[in-house]
Amino acid sequence: MNEKAVSDYTKLITSQHRNKEKFIQMLEEVSSPMVGFFNFFATLNSKYDVDTANDPYLETLARWTGTPLIIPGAAIEEYFGFSDQENALTFGETDDPTVGGYFRESGQSGTGGLVPKGELLRRLIKAKILQNKSTGCLIETKEILTLVLDHDQFKVIDNENMTVTFKNLYPQFTKTHKILVQLFFPLPSGVQLIIEE
Regarding predicted confidence, which is higher, 187 or 103? 187
Residue 162: count other Cβ atoms within 10 Å of its Cβ: 10
Ordered strands of the 88-89 beta sheet: 88-89, 79-80, 102-103
Largest interatomic CA distance in the chain: 88
Q: Report whether pLDDT(125) > 90.
A: yes
**Which whole number is the average pLDDT over 9-19?**
79
Alpha-carbon distance of 149 to 151, in angstroms, equals 5
Cite the DSSP H helix spans in 48-173. 57-65, 118-132, 138-149
- b (16+ CB within 10 A) / e for 5-42: ebeebeeeeeeeeeeeeeeeeebeeebeeebeeeeeee
pLDDT in tens, 148-173: 999 999 999 888 899 999 999 888 88
Alpha-carbon distance of 53 to 67, in angstroms, equals 15
Residue 108: pLDDT band by 50, 70, 90 thresholds?
very low
Count Cβ atoms within 10 A of the Cβ of residue 63 and give its class: 0-12 exposed, 13-18 middle, 19 or more buried. exposed
User: What confidence score (pLDDT) does residue 87 get?
Assistant: 54
Please state, for a pLDDT cut of 70, what percent of the chain lies above it. 78
Regarding predicted confidence, which is higher, 81 or 178? 178
Residue 90: pLDDT band by 50, 70, 90 thresholds?
low
User: What confidence score (pLDDT) does residue 10 get?
Assistant: 78
DSSP 166: E
Residue 131: pLDDT band by 50, 70, 90 thresholds?
very high
CA 61 to chain centre: 7
Q: Where are the domains of the chain?
A: 6-47, 70-115, 134-196
Count Cβ atoms within 10 A of the Cβ of residue 74 and give its class: 0-12 exposed, 13-18 middle, 19 or more buried. buried
**Which whole number is the average pLDDT over 177-194?**
88
Residue 187: pLDDT band by 50, 70, 90 thresholds?
confident
pLDDT in tens, 24-74: 888 888 888 888 888 888 887 778 888 888 888 888 898 999 998 888 766
Alpha-carbon distance of 140 to 187, in angstroms, equals 11
